[in-house]
Structure 1
Amino acid sequence: MKTLNKLFIALFFATLSMQAQQTPAIAQTGEITLTGATAHIGNGEVIEKSLIFIKDGKITGVYDARTTKMPLRGEIINVDGQHIYPGFIAPDTTLGLVEISAVRATEDQDEVGEYNPHIEAIVAYNAESKVVESMRPNGVLIAQAVPQGGTISGQSSVVQLDAWNWEDAAVKRGDGIHLNWPNSYRRGRWWEGEDPGYSPNKDYKSDITEIENFIAQSKAFTSGDSSVKNLPYAAMQGILDGTQNLYIHVDSEKEILDVLKFKEAMNIEKVVLVGAYRGYKVVDAIAKANVSVILARVHSLPDAEDDDYNISFKMVKDLIDAKVTVALGNSGEYWQSRNIPFYAGQTTAHGLSFEDALQLITKNPATILGVSDKLGTLEAGKDATLIVSKGNALEMSGNTISHAFINGRSISLESHQTELYKRYMEKYERAK
């Protein structure tokens, strides 16, 4: 059996080598003019006939082509009748950290130990992942690579999805640290003869105390003599001084309220709730605490039999109405991250406009992840990271990407999936 497993892994990597990742595009020089498309700026503004100038990887101007008299410059790309959007951002993913979940050798998202704030997911990021490649045809150009496991999983980083290696991919290294909040209820361990149903977690309070003690010890270490190195404590400096986010993965109503108390008690400035499945029940408390939210996949089924069937969709509007900054996440998934534009599109059936929905995967995640100075909207001075779609990119029938740019580089929209599609379409054409 061991021999067969080794043979399978060898064949898997041999297959990957024969179907290499698309070569990253070269740096953009000179000027590009995109003309004629409807520009969805990402902040709610729409320009029906736009004129967008790109120079050396940056947007240098966004204008209404019907009123401006500015001449076209450089390479002119006529995208009349199409739609331009900021590149979509997928937070809370394991993109580049997992290739095939059933093959342990291709998983690198989890580290041994409970408290690992000093572990960075970015150094394990595989820029040549076939899964990463498959994001771009749907318009997903930016992602957050997030570590998993333990109480404190480690540090995430923001990456762009057309790179030679993790150094090239990094947009923002170490944007925050991820904490998995304990559950007040737990399932019984059936393998030890316990009732498999839910019961109160007797260790809940002590688990929280352990986290508080770790924070307190980190404060003492970072404010004292650090001649003796302690990597986990030292890595908490960004959380303590407010330069990094503390992403707290939490779902239930009680736990969310406890997190908000923890934030105040520990004097932590930047807290982001990740998941927040029951957040709609404590919207006012979340808004008052001034924390942002990255929701789980809104295509998920309800967790409990008495939940509304559409609870995952409609909670977005409840939070937005309370002035909470909300982004749509991926629950630590990887390949499903390509569906994030359709998650946003789904929310329009439950009270949001398309422009509000667009902000859930552009402006809002850029703000939360701390990259809004570069990404998230189509504005002069920001990175020319954008997509052009033949239809409404938040709908499956309209999401047909014709052009994509990362830092002004025109990137390939081919993947092993599009290549297979073309191959077998040709087969059936020949058979006619």
Structure 2
Amino acid sequence: MRTLGAALLALLSAAAGAADVVAIRGGRIVTVSGPVIEKGTVVVSGGKITAVGASVEIPAGATVIDATGQTVYPGLIDGLTTLGLTEIGSVPGSVDTTETGDVNPHAEAWVAVNPHSDLLPVARANGITAALAAPAGGLVSGQSALLRLAGTTPDALTVKTRAAMHMVYPTGRPAFDISRLFEEPELKTFEERQKDRKTNQEKELKRLGNLLEEAKAYGSARAAAKAGRIAPPKPDLPMEALAPVARGEVPVVMRVDAEEDIRSAVKFAEDHGLKLIVAGGLEAWRVADLLKQKDVAVLVNVDRLPRRESD
């Protein structure tokens, strides 16, 4: 069966901004939130879907697209991407995903989005109409932006400028360092390496926890100053950005894959009152009951190989 899907809807949303009305008629409509309509009509007005149904009246003057024999479905959302932040990986000037330093909560992805990226129309043509563009790297990467993939300026693209805070959950494993390739390798047993990893992880978790507590205190001081009880604290952009995260008002997306690390991340989030979303989640299925119990959402990568031979 041919598909008239999100790719078409994406093009419509990009083209129908000038109060144009488009009706897609006669197709099999996948509504997602309701039952499939075997033969129905979708009306798009001003770039937004305004009506869906089997007996929808088509507005006078609307452009009608005959979708008979085809399937119409809502646009897809890329839940975690660097779309708009990177163009060609081997050209540093076209990559704007990572800030200097490893703690950058005040970095906002929407500021760096390139609305003229050649990758945006490619994504639209493949049915993606919205995306969560996120920074990467470091311990605290920064804040992602929710984008609609139609627009000629960052403002026009951006639905929400501060969608979530992104962090890389510390695993304790040493980062790759090319400068050490020619050094004599340090010989350690598996147990010694595991102990080192655990020590490093605990050190980084303590550091992250201290940052969150500091941000919470900063937020409380700002609130007290606003009420006139104390003098305002010195402006601090990183703490300003982290304060709503520490209060549980802004979700935290943590990149974490291993079962042990996912359990640890859930406990860390609970201890610090964070609204956690797991990204990657390669072994999230192993702790599905825990994630459901703690109401933790998971952005699962679907193109990764299993971690264990038994998977």
Give the TM bin, normalised by the shorter chain: 0.7 to 0.9
Match of 1:347 in 2: none
* 1:264 Cα deviation after fit: 1.3
Check 1:188–1:157 CA distance in 2 against 1; reply closer, same or farther (3 A cut): closer
1:97 to 65, 69, 85: 85
**Contact conserved, 2:213 with 2:246, CA < 8 A, in 1?**
no
Q: Secondary structure, in 3 states, of the residue corresponding to 2:73?
A: strand
Check 1:40–1:286 CA distance in 2 against 1; reply closer, same or farther (3 A cut): same
Q: Secondary structure, in 3 states, of the residue corresponding to 1:274?
A: strand
Q: Deviations 1:106-161 (Å, cap 9, x if unpaired)?
A: 11100011111110011111111112221122111211111011100000001122
Alignment of 1:79-98 (within 5 A): 79-98=67-86
Match of 2:227 in 1: none
Match of 2:123 in 1: 135
2:304 to 289, 293, 300: 300
Check 1:307–1:172 CA distance in 2 against 1; reply closer, same or farther (3 A cut): farther
Output the TM-score relative to the length of structure 2.
0.83
Check 1:206–1:55 CA distance in 2 against 1; reply closer, same or farther (3 A cut): same
**Contact conserved, 1:187 with 1:197, CA < 8 A, in 2?**
no
Q: Indicate yes or no: 2:99 matched with 1:108.
A: no
Match of 1:51 in 2: 41
Check 1:173–1:195 CA distance in 2 against 1; reply closer, same or farther (3 A cut): farther
* 1:301 Cα deviation after fit: 2.0
Residues in 2 aligned to 1:181 and 1:86: alpha-carbon distance in whole angstroms: 33
Match of 1:274 in 2: 279
**Contact conserved, 1:159 with 1:171, CA < 8 A, in 2?**
yes
Unpaired stretches in structure 1, ≥5 consecutive residues: 1-23, 309-432
Check 1:153–1:187 CA distance in 2 against 1; reply closer, same or farther (3 A cut): closer
2:256 to 231, 240, 250: 250
1:232 to 214, 221, 238: 238
Match of 1:75 in 2: 63
Paired residue type of 1:127: P
Check 1:266–1:125 CA distance in 2 against 1; reply closer, same or farther (3 A cut): same
RCO greater where, 1 or 2, for CA within 8 Å and sep 6 or more? Answer: 1
* 1:184 Cα deviation after fit: 4.2
**Contact conserved, 2:29 with 2:73, CA < 8 A, in 1?**
yes
Paired residue type of 1:257: R
Alignment of 1:328-367 (within 5 A): none
Q: Indicate yes or no: 2:295 matched with 1:290.
A: yes
Q: Indicate yes or no: 2:196 matched with 1:205.
A: no
Alignment of 1:188-199 (within 5 A): 191=181, 192=183, 193-194=185-186, 199=193
**Contact conserved, 2:16 with 2:45, CA < 8 A, in 1?**
no
Match of 1:342 in 2: none
Paired residue type of 1:243: E
The CA RMSD over aligned residues, in Å, is 2.2
Residues in 1 aligned to 2:266 and 2:94: alpha-carbon distance in whole angstroms: 36
* 1:42 Cα deviation after fit: 1.8
Alignment of 1:1-80 (within 5 A): 25=15, 27-43=17-33, 45-65=35-55, 70=57, 73=60, 74-80=62-68
Q: Secondary structure, in 3 states, of the residue corresponding to 2:51?
A: strand
Paired residue type of 1:263: A
2:212 to 208, 211, 215: 215
Unpaired stretches in structure 2, ≥5 consecutive residues: 1-13, 223-231
Equivalenced residues, count: 279
**Contact conserved, 1:38 with 1:49, CA < 8 A, in 2?**
yes
Q: Deviations 1:153-174 (Å, cap 9, x if unpaired)?
A: 0000011222212111101111
Q: Deviations 1:293-319 (Å, cap 9, x if unpaired)?
A: 0012x1222234x143xxxxxxxxxxx
Identity of paired residues, percent?
30
Paired residue type of 2:249: T
* 1:239 Cα deviation after fit: 1.5
**Contact conserved, 2:282 with 2:304, CA < 8 A, in 1?**
no
